[in-house]
């Protein structure tokens, strides 16, 4: 998996072959096929590994939030922090923008699952009173789009400052949520 991650990041999905992946390991080619049928399978496994871990972490922190500000803060901090701690996941994603899972639009299987889970978490937070009654669909789309776009800006900065990005995003959304309460 580590070898595949490196090769996909360096060459991109289209140019990568199974042979390229195998060359990065000490394994015989038959060993690769004991685990995967194709480069598509190993790429999907990498994507699932990233998505499953990140989505689990996000579900946990959102469930613990007691206020809308805490919901936002924990969500952004966890999302940005994941990629700071796992930059190889970010570079894999950005090196392969044409693959559905890592499209420049939020349309991949893992991304859609994440958005659906966030929507459900927002609905639970509204029911519990920690998030005010607002349009769940729009809020979900806005949170996903801002996080996805801000991640690129964050990862290009030196130093990478997750706390600053989180504060900015939370302040932006808190101003919006407050404005929506009054509308």
Q: State the CATH number of the domain containing residue 168.
A: 1.10.357
What distance in Å separates the CA atoms of residue 68 and residue 49, rounded to the nearest whole number? 29
Q: If pLDDT is split at 50, 70 and 90, which confidence band does 180 have?
A: low
pLDDT of amino acid 178: 66
CB-count burial class (<10 Å; 0-12, 13-18, 19+) for 28? exposed
Q: If pLDDT is split at 50, 70 and 90, which confidence band does 93 have?
A: confident
Model confidence at 100: pLDDT above 90? no
Q: What is the DSSP letter of 150?
A: H
Model confidence at 181: pLDDT above 70? no
Cβ(71)–Cβ(131) below 8 Å: yes
Does 95 fall in a domain? yes
Instruction: Break the chain down into helix, strand, coil percent, rounded to 5.
Output: 75, 0, 25
Model confidence at 18: pLDDT above 90? yes
Does 16 fall in a domain? no
Q: Look-up: residue for tokens 């990005």?
A: 165
What distance in Å separates the CA atoms of residue 132 and residue 103, rounded to the nearest whole number? 32
What distance in Å separates the CA atoms of residue 99 and residue 131, rounded to the nearest whole number? 35
Kindly report, residue by residue over 22-59, the tens digit of the pLDDT: 999 988 889 999 999 999 999 999 999 999 999 999 99
Q: Which of 72, 59, 74, 89 is nearest to 155 (CA)?
A: 89
pLDDT of amino acid 104: 47
Question: Percentage of the chain with pLDDT > 90?
Answer: 74
Residue 90 structural domain: 53-182
Average pLDDT, the chain: 90
Note the maximum CA span of the chain: 64
Does 123 fall in a domain? yes
pLDDT of amino acid 131: 87
Model confidence at 88: pLDDT above 80? yes
Model confidence at 108: pLDDT above 90? no
Count: domains in the chain? 1
Does 131 fall in a domain? yes
């Amino acid at each position: 998996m580590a070898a595949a991650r490196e090769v996909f990041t360096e060459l991109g999905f289209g140019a990568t072959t199974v042979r390229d992946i195998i060359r990065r390991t000490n394994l015989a080619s038959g060993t690769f096929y004991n685990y995967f049928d194709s480069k598509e399978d190993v790429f999907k496994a990498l994507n699932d590994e990233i998505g499953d871990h990140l989505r689990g972490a996000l579900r946990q922190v959102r469930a613990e939030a007691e206020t809308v500000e805490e919901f936002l803060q924990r969500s952004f901090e966890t999302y940005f922090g994941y990629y700071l701690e796992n930059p190889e996941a970010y570079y894999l994603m950005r090196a392969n923008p044409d693959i559905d899972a890592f499209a420049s639009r939020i349309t991949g299987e893992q991304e859609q699952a994440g958005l659906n889970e966030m929507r459900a978490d927002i609905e639970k937070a509204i029911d519990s009173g920690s998030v005010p009654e607002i349009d769940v669909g729009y809020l979900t789309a806005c949170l996903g789009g801002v996080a996805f776009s801000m991640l690129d800006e964050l990862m290009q900065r030196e130093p990478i400052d997750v706390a600053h990005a989180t504060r900015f995003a939370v302040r932006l959304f808190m101003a919006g949520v407050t404005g929506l309460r009054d509308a």
